[in-house]
A and B are shown apart, each in its own frame.
Chain A
Amino acid sequence: MSVVLVDAGGTNIGSVRYALQRLGVDAELTADAATIRAADKVILPGVGAAGPGMARLRELGLVGLLRSLSQPVLGVCLGMQLLCAHSEEGDTGCLGLIPLPVRRFAEAPGLRVPHMGWNRLSAKQAHSLLAGLAADEQAYFVHSYAVPASDWTLATSDYGGAFSAVIARDNYYGMQFHPERSAAVGAKLLRNFLEL
């Protein structure tokens, strides 16, 4: 199986690559359209801001390509937000593959932004991506913007209200947390994606 990591400049690319290696998969880091198109699985990692993230994809000429893929595509953290329609962060139009907005967490007493740390995943739909996920399992999040819960939400987490932790539409999947840094839970969900 060939897995590619889209090199969109995110600083967590190394961590995602090592996490895949721990699962026995050597993912190629690439920005080459033909290589991405030919892959069995495509992962769009991302750490940073939405505006520069989209600008980088445009510079690389990958926007149209990412919109036209038919194999499973996984966006991680910012990568998931880039799959959505629009982000409040820098008023950025995103890839529009999953018709959802990305909004900033509203600060409130006891609600620090960024949302940083381990939080519970709550499955909302049965899906093979969530196979084996137990009720009280937690994943590691680091983000200031979030996608509201919706019909495309497979799992939520709660931080001043429910938000989307895992989303899916057709062959496009997103995880707001960092599976590469979420211990056994993250490894399980990454393996599930590889087995889709």
Chain B
Amino acid sequence: MLSRRIIPCLDVRDGKVVKGVRFRDHVVMGEIVELALRYRDEGADELVFYDITASPEGRSVDRDWVEKVARAIDIPFCVAGGIRSVDEARAVLHAGADKISVNSPALERPVLIDELAAAFGVQCVVVGVDSLRDADGQWHVRQYTGDTSKTRALPRRTLDWMVEAQQRGAGEIVLNCMGSDGVRLGYDLEQLSMARTICHVPLIASGGAGALEHFRDAFIEADVDGALAASVFHSGAIAIPELKHYLHRQGVAIRS
């Protein structure tokens, strides 16, 4: 049976791992390779590195650290941040990343997803979706969330975008529920469950993990394939071995 994945997310800014609350006020958490190795040793199933400044600044992700991480760790990792062409994606994949994740650039030019899937196969192509519920009660997509001064609310509905992304060749979708991000009150189970009904590729929950049971709820109630979290892992509030032990006892298939 396929295990559910625990995925620490390392937000990278200027070559360091940082974390903010509700996408703001970033503080430095540590060195990239050092944190990657720590999570690998603790039993993380996969890592995501998100260059939060790359997309708003219109530049691609700096590749040096990608190769360092690839040399150091022996679990899969995904790199996100400002990848806007097949050539940029190829450089990151050749540096040793297993997957690349696109978010704002795919909203600028959706055919980027088709191009990446054709060049590398859908298994390499993750689409990140930043989503927030608006006054009309609908979830809509946000763009350039790495920099609050540049963040844009789009008219595109989250679920419509997820359907389109899959048709274009997304092999996995990370749904970042911005309303619950950084406040540790649990994943947005309502939104994730809704997304699950239309998501036929692996779905990763992001935003809101604060306690062990939040992970269980995401896996059991929203049936997500993986759960991504940052601050609870970086701060030590939740230790991955303890989390996995708990999930195993709760009947969730995990890798011990």
Residue on B nearest A50 in the bound complex, by CB: B121
Give Cα A55 to B70, complex, Å: 28
Residues of B with C-beta under 8 A to A18: 70-71, 96
Out of B171, B200, B256, which one reaches A116, CB within 8 Å?
Answer: B171
Residue on B nearest A138 in the bound complex, by CB: B255
Out of A48, A112, A182, which one reaches B74, CB within 8 Å?
Answer: A182
Whether A117 pairs with B5 at a CB distance below 8 angstroms is yes
Whether A116 pairs with B225 at a CB distance below 8 angstroms is yes
Residue on B nearest A21 in the bound complex, by CB: B71
Whether A118 pairs with B3 at a CB distance below 8 angstroms is yes
Give Cα A18 to B71, complex, Å: 5
| Residue B1 lies at the interface, judged by CB distance under 8 Å to chain A | yes
Of B87-95, B102-110, B140-148, the one with at least 4 CB within 8 A of chain A: B87-95
Interface string of A178-193 (1 = CB under 8 A from B): 1011111011000000
Residues of A with C-beta under 8 A to B122: 114, 144
Q: Is the interface of A mostly helix, strand, loop or mixed?
A: mixed
| Residue B75 lies at the interface, judged by CB distance under 8 Å to chain A | yes
| Residue A142 lies at the interface, judged by CB distance under 8 Å to chain B | yes
A14 CB, nearest partner CB in chain B, Å: 4
The interface size bin for chain B is: 35 or more
Whether B255 pairs with A11 at a CB distance below 8 angstroms is no
Residues of A with C-beta under 8 A to B98: 12, 15, 142, 178, 181
Contact (A117, B94) CB under 8 Å given A48-B121, A187-B74 = no
Out of B1, B76, B171, B172, which one reaches A140, CB within 8 Å?
Answer: B76
Residues of B with C-beta under 8 A to A22: 74
Whether B202 pairs with A114 at a CB distance below 8 angstroms is yes
Contact (A48, B120) CB under 8 Å given A11-B90, A119-B1, A140-B76 = yes
Contact (A112, B3) CB under 8 Å given A12-B98, A19-B74, A140-B75 = no
Residues of B with C-beta under 8 A to A113: 200-201
Residues of A with C-beta under 8 A to B151: none
Which A residues lie at the B interface, using CB under 8 A?
11-15, 18-19, 21-22, 47-49, 107, 110, 112-120, 136, 138, 140, 142-144, 158-159, 178, 180-184, 186-187
Q: Which are the 10 A-B pairs with shortest beta-carbon distances?
A: A11-B93, A118-B255, A14-B96, A118-B3, A181-B76, A142-B123, A18-B71, A138-B255, A114-B123, A116-B202
